[in-house]
Amino acid sequence: MSKFWSPAVHELTPYIPGEQPRERLVKLNTNENPYPPAPGVEKVLSGYSIDHLRLYPDPESLALRHALAKEHGVEVGQVFVGNGSDEVLALAFQAFFRQAAPLSMPAITYSFYPVYCRLYDIAYRTLALDDEWQVPLEAFDVHSGGIVFANPNAPTGHGHGRDAITRLLERVTECVVLIDEAYVDFGGESAIPLVAQYPNLLVTGTFSKSRSLAGVRLGYAIGSRELIEGLERVKNSFNSYPIDSLASAVGIAALEDREHFDACREKVITTRERTRRRLTNLGFEVLPSQANFILVRHPEHDAAQLFVGLRERGILVRHFNTEALRDFLRISIGTDDEMDSLIEALETLVG
């Protein structure tokens, strides 16, 4: 606390990201992709003319936005890019959710959303998940100042299909519906094809998971031209050049390699289902997942103790110390070898 801070800063409760360990661990805690990015990324870096770095990047990031527009079958004016999807989400909260009516979000979802609300002084209400740990879309209030959820949801892994999203959008027409699709490429169904019909739908995505580029910080939003313009107004009042030249070139190279993308996400999906079966055999309850992580609990073992036991064996997973989630561990899907180490350690701990 300091007398020099803006008064509102004293009230902030920052988001706490998963640990980035400095020692060598089997790292299954922040949903990173276990496979490297597309080989074209290496070519971009080794052949990069560094003289270009003395110049500012394109403030509109047109080349990257064109590549994303092509990938998703939309116009370039329907694409917004930012320094990771966390930045895109923050700017979207600022651009759309500072309304008279409170924002609605699931009680269990990406825990950065309430942090943005405190930063921008946005009131919000939460919606309990249903008995199957799913977001009950039909329970969202049409009079909300906005709606936000992750789909597939985090850290549960459940995702709604496009039909369910369509029913929500038919009902909620007067506020922005923000769908965070960070994990959609591991088996979910994207709502992006719906942006043409629903001007209040904004879908965010990231290069951090399915493109194996968490280190490069690239996120995006796709929506109607009027929503993208709102984001641009806020962005251009905050930082003219959020996407650096290297990140843009690397992101474009990743988008160009469809084969690598498909191969990596299929491997993750196969390993996820295999891990799910093995954990079920060890007595764990494993929630069905369309993401690159699984949420698991064991009826006879304390999750916090399992977390510590795994850590002692060099394996890092995520434990959220909240009332709703403290019985669970969230485990990112690594390589088959990494998951073998996990299963072996858990066999000792629960066997």
Question: Given candidates 212, 275, 292, 332, which one binds its own copies under the rule CB under 8 A?
Answer: 212
Cβ partners under 8 Å of residue 64, min gap 6: 81, 218, 243, 248, 251, 252
Taking the complex as a whole, the smallest distance from the CB of residue 205 to its own copies amounts, in Å, to: 16
Work out whether 330 is an interface residue with its own copies (CB under 8 A).
Answer: no
Taking the complex as a whole, the smallest distance from the CB of residue 350 to its own copies amounts, in Å, to: 29
The neighbour count for residue 320, using CB atoms within 10 Å, is 18
Check if the beta carbon of residue 139 is closer than 8 Å to that of residue 116. Answer: no
The region of 108-116, 265-273, 322-330, 341-349 touching its own copies under the rule CB under 8 A is 108-116
Residue 109 has φ and ψ, to the nearest 5°, of: -165, -165
Work out whether 6 is an interface residue with its own copies (CB under 8 A).
Answer: yes
Question: Given candidates 23, 24, 55, 131, which one binds its own copies under the rule CB under 8 A?
Answer: 55
Question: Given candidates 23, 24, 54, 300, which one binds its own copies under the rule CB under 8 A?
Answer: 54
Taking the complex as a whole, the smallest distance from the CB of residue 75 to its own copies amounts, in Å, to: 17
For its own copies (CB under 8 A), the number of binding residues is 86
Amino acid (one-letter) located at 17: P
Comparing CB distances to its own copies, the nearer of 128 and 238 is: 238
Check if the beta carbon of residue 201 is closer than 8 Å to that of residue 174. Answer: no
Residue 128 has φ and ψ, to the nearest 5°, of: -65, 145
Question: Given candidates 156, 206, 208, 292, which one binds its own copies under the rule CB under 8 A?
Answer: 208
> C-alpha angle 106/187/162, rounded to 5°?
60
Work out whether 83 is an interface residue with its own copies (CB under 8 A).
Answer: yes
Range 268-327, binding its own copies (CB under 8 A): none
Q: How far apart, in whole angstroms, are the C-alpha atoms of residue 229 and residue 77?
A: 8
Range 214-253, binding its own copies (CB under 8 A): 214-217, 226-227, 229-230, 232-234, 236-247, 250
DSSP at 19: P
The region of 38-46, 150-158, 266-274, 291-299 touching its own copies under the rule CB under 8 A is 38-46
Q: Is the dihedral of CA 187, 188, 194, 196 positive or negative?
A: negative
Check if the beta carbon of residue 89 is closer than 8 Å to that of residue 223. Answer: no
Please report, in angstroms and rounded to a whole number, the separation of the first and last CA atoms in the chain.
Answer: 48
Taking residues 172 to 191 in sequence order and writing x for each that binds its own copies by CB under 8 A, - otherwise, the string is: --xxx---------------
Q: How far apart, in whole angstroms, are the C-alpha atoms of residue 251 and residue 37?
A: 10
Comparing CB distances to its own copies, the nearer of 9 and 142 is: 9
> C-alpha angle 268/271/276, rounded to 5°?
125
Comparing CB distances to its own copies, the nearer of 87 and 189 is: 87
Taking residues 116 to 155 in sequence order and writing x for each that binds its own copies by CB under 8 A, - otherwise, the string is: x-xx------------------------------------
